[in-house]
């Protein structure tokens, strides 16, 4: 039985081409800075009592329940809500994920499994407002403002979706490329 080996130089070139193709389709996480009037800001809640993550989930879910761009909604359970004209797609329900009480204005979103970010701003006299951003699709470390209208950032809370996170297609693309590379290797190696 004769074994036909793939020439070493061609194998190295083939592996290099496959690796380069894989890296070409990886997503480079950018550093974002969220602001109060940017494309991700859904709106605000005031006053925003420091009542914990369950109450903050109510704030987010109430806000996303309003029509996009509907403006001010006053006196709902003692709170005022303002909904900007920012879309959040299908606006999945917010489910508490994590919180940071350190006052740090950097948030690590990781690989993008979060849907909403609530930042709570408070004055020493207790006046407060929570700003809510749609962070779907954002990855990596982002920066949020450390103050709002003479209110200091007290904490921020991340919320995940109420259901499974849909795949953006990158996994399917990489899997298809892997099968294509295996098929090409099989053809050239005659396995």
Query: How many residues in the chain?
Result: 191
Residue 29 has a pLDDT of: 46
Taking residue 170's Cβ as centre, other Cβ atoms within 10 Å add up to: 11
Residue spans of the domains in the chain: they are: 32-161
Residue 45 has a pLDDT of: 94
Quick one: which of 42, 106, 99 has its CA closest to 73? Answer: 42
pLDDT tens for each residue of 133-158: 999 988 899 999 999 888 899 899 99
* Residues linked to residue 132 through DSSP beta bridges, in sequence order: 43, 118
State pTM to two decimals.
0.68
CA dist., res. 99 & res. 117, Å (int): 10
In this structure, what DSSP letter does residue 64 have?
A: H
- Asked whether residue 191 carries a pLDDT value surpassing 60, the answer given is no
Instruction: Give yes or no for a contact between 114 and 140, defined as CB atoms under 8 angstroms apart.
Output: no
- Both tokens assigned to 110: 């990781």
pLDDT tens for each residue of 58-86: 999 999 999 999 999 998 888 999 999 98
pLDDT tens for each residue of 150-188: 889 989 999 988 644 444 556 666 667 777 777 777 777
Distances (CA, A) of 81 to 43, 47, 49: 7, 9, 13
pLDDT tens for each residue of 21-40: 665 554 444 578 898 889 89
Residue 115 has a pLDDT of: 93
């Amino acid at each position: 039985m004769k074994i036909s080996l793939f020439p070493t130089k061609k194998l190295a070139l083939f592996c290099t081409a496959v690796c380069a193709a894989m890296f070409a389709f990886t997503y480079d996480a950018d550093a974002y800075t969220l602001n109060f009037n940017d494309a991700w800001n859904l709106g605000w809640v005031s006053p925003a009592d420091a009542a914990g993550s369950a109450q903050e989930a109510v704030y987010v879910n109430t806000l996303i329940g309003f029509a996009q761009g509907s403006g001010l909604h006053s006196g709902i359970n003692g709170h005022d809500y303002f909904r900007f004209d920012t879309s959040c797609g299908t606006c999945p329900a917010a489910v508490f994920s994590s919180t940071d009480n350190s006052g740090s204005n950097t948030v690590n979103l990781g690989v993008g499994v979060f849907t909403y970010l609530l930042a709570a701003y408070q004055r020493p006299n207790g006046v407060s407002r929570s700003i809510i951003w749609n962070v779907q699709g954002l990855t990596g470390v982002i920066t949020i403002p450390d103050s709002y209208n003479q209110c200091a950032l007290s904490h921020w809370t991340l919320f995940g979706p109420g259901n499974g996170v849909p795949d953006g297609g990158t996994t399917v693309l990489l899997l298809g490329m892997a099968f294509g590379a295996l098929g090409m290797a099989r053809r050239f190696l005659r396995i």
